[in-house]
Structure formats: C-alpha cells, structure tokens
Amino acid sequence: MLEVLRGVVAWFQDPANWRGEEGLVNRLVEHLLLTGTATLFAVLVGLPLAIWLGHIGKGGLLAVNVSNIGRAVPTFAVLLLLSVGPVGTDDLGPYGRAGLATLIALVLFALPPIITNAYVGMREVDADTVQAARGMGMRGGQLLRSVELPLALPLIVTGVRLAVVQVWATATIAALVAGPGLGRIITLGFRRQDVAEVVAGALVVAVFALLLEGLMVLAQRLLDPVARARRTSGPTSSSGEAGGPPTGATADEESARQPAEA
C-alpha cells in the first residue's frame, strides 16, 4: 500500500504526465467540457418540459417513467450502441474521439434527475400560496415566474446538482470506447499494468466530484429564496431588538428616578 501511495505521488510529480494530448490537463479539460455540455443540453431539454408539466399539473406519469427508464438502462450500453451504430467514434473537436456518442449518452443519463426534481418541485408548491396569488390577480406566466418557480427552485437546483455529479462520475466510461476524458488515464494505467496511474486517475475524478458537489451545494443555498430572505432579515431583526424600547426593569428604574430628581 505504501508503495502504491509513493507511486501516485511520483506520478503527479512527473511533468510528462501533465503535458500533451494524453496529459492530465488535456484530459481534465475534456472531462469538464463533456460534463458541462451534457448537463447544459439536459437542462435545456428537460427543465422547460418538467416545469411546464408541473405548472399545468399533468404528466406525472411521464416524469416518473423517464426517471425509471433512465435509471434502468445502463449508460455504458447506450454509449456502446451509439459508438458502433450510426454515430460512430469520429472526433468531435475539443471533445475528442467518440465525443458525440459520449455526449448523447451523458445527456440521456442527466435527464432523469433534472426532470423528476423539477416536476416534483413544481407540484409541491403550496396550493394555498398559489390560490392567494391567483386572488391577487396573478395569472399564467406571472404566477409561474413570481410564485411557483421561486418556491420550486431548491428542488430544481437539487436535480441539476445530482445530474452534474452523476455525469462527471459516469463520463469516465467514455474511455472504454476510446472516448475522451479522465477515464483514458485509468484505462491507460490498466493497459500498462501501472497501479499508480490507475489510482491517480481515479483520485482526480473523486476529488473533482467532491469539488463540484460543494460548488453546487453553495449555489443551491445562494439561490434558495427562503434562505436568502432569512439572511436578509436576520441583521435587521437583531438590530431592531438591540435598538428597541427599554426592558421593564429599566423603565421602572427610570420612573423611580424621576420623582427623586423633581
């Protein structure tokens, strides 16, 4: 075990492992591009659909079935079928070899958590709040923008957060069909029978998964309207308490001093 750890440290210290097409920097950029692009397309496709279905109160069966199918079908099977099929393994600019097949597979993998969480978030908006907004004259798009979306935002962001982390972790399998990303480092280590290289590649994937998780949790807290309102009202309420009227004991002392001074 100690020898493996030393080998991992030596691998990171070797400048040759950071440079070039097979280097860590290039593979990291490919992985980030895959994750960001796949998540973006999944958000653009799935989020409007789920929000609209949740707004009109229909399509719950569709949202659940999409989630179930997405979890049941192995992503690697989809990637393999796309690679040997019409999509192929041609280069796709900065995404590298089999870039298009990898992107399609990852988009399909990212859709279930985005659609499910957005739909559930819209449907769990308090009905009394919606009725009160309707009573104030809000209709259609105004009700959606001003009431439903802000209240559903925490669950919507949770779905995007799950999609980002899952896509990042799953993108490593692209290397099994000669695709891009950090998985190429791991497969290259297996081919060379270099345990240190395999562990180093897996370690980079794990560390960046934790970083992405932390960033998305921070974004979720910043976008949560309830938490934002608490942060805004917190200092005001505390300062109001500090500058408020005197307590009962202080008032009694003041009234007792006034006759004595007179």
pLDDT digit string (tens) for 157-189? 999 999 999 999 999 988 888 778 899 999 989
What pLDDT was estimated at residue 201? 92
Centroid of chain to Cα 172: 17
Q: Are 183 and 176 in contact (CB under 8 A)?
A: yes
Query: Is residue 78 domain-resident?
Result: yes
**What range defines the domain where residue 48 resides?**
19-231
Rounded CA-CA distance 161/211 in Å is 12
Of the two residues 191 and 130, the one the predictor is more confident about is: 191
Helix orientation angle between 149-170 and 195-223, rounded to the nearest 10 degrees:
180
Residue 247 has pLDDT above 70, yes or no: no
Query: Is residue 241 domain-resident?
Result: no
Residue 252 has pLDDT above 50, yes or no: no
The number of distinct structural domains making up the chain is: 1
Rounded CA-CA distance 161/77 in Å is 24
What pLDDT was estimated at residue 261? 46
List beta partners, residue 10. Answer: none
Query: Is residue 197 domain-resident?
Result: yes
With CA atoms as reference, report the closest residue to 155 among 229, 66, 51, 44.
51
Query: Is residue 135 domain-resident?
Result: yes
Query: Is residue 5 domain-resident?
Result: no
pLDDT tens, residue by residue, 38-64 = 999 999 998 998 888 888 877 777 777
What pLDDT was estimated at residue 234? 58
Query: Is residue 153 domain-resident?
Result: yes
Q: What is the mean pLDDT of residues 69-94?
A: 78
What pLDDT was estimated at residue 75? 81
Give the pLDDT band of residue 244 (cuts 50, 70, 90): very low
Neighbours of 7 (CB within 10 A): 16
According to the 3-state scheme, what is the secondary structure of 69-85?
HHHHCCHHHHHHHHHHC
Whole-prediction pTM value? 0.79
What pLDDT was estimated at residue 134? 77
Q: What is the mean pLDDT of residues 74-97?
A: 78
Rounded CA-CA distance 117/112 in Å is 8
What pLDDT was estimated at residue 231? 67
Tell me, what CATH number does 110's domain have?
Answer: 1.10.3720.10
What pLDDT was estimated at residue 254? 46
- In angstroms, the Cα distances linking 1 to 4, 5, 16, 192, 196 are 5, 6, 24, 19, 10
* % pLDDT > 70, the chain: 86
Burial class (CB in 10 A: 0-12, 13-18, 19+), 106: buried
Sign of CA dihedral 146, 150, 156, 161: positive
Query: Is residue 58 domain-resident?
Result: yes
- Cβ neighbours for 89, distance < 8 A, ≥ 6 positions apart: 83, 97, 98, 101, 177, 178, 179
pLDDT tens, residue by residue, 145-154 = 777 888 888 8
What pLDDT was estimated at residue 114? 92
What pLDDT was estimated at residue 212? 93
Query: Is residue 84 domain-resident?
Result: yes
What pLDDT was estimated at residue 237? 47
pLDDT tens, residue by residue, 104-144 = 889 988 998 999 899 988 888 877 777 787 778 777 777 77
Query: First vs last Cα of the chain: how many Å apart?
Result: 87
The whole-chain average pLDDT of the chain stands at 81
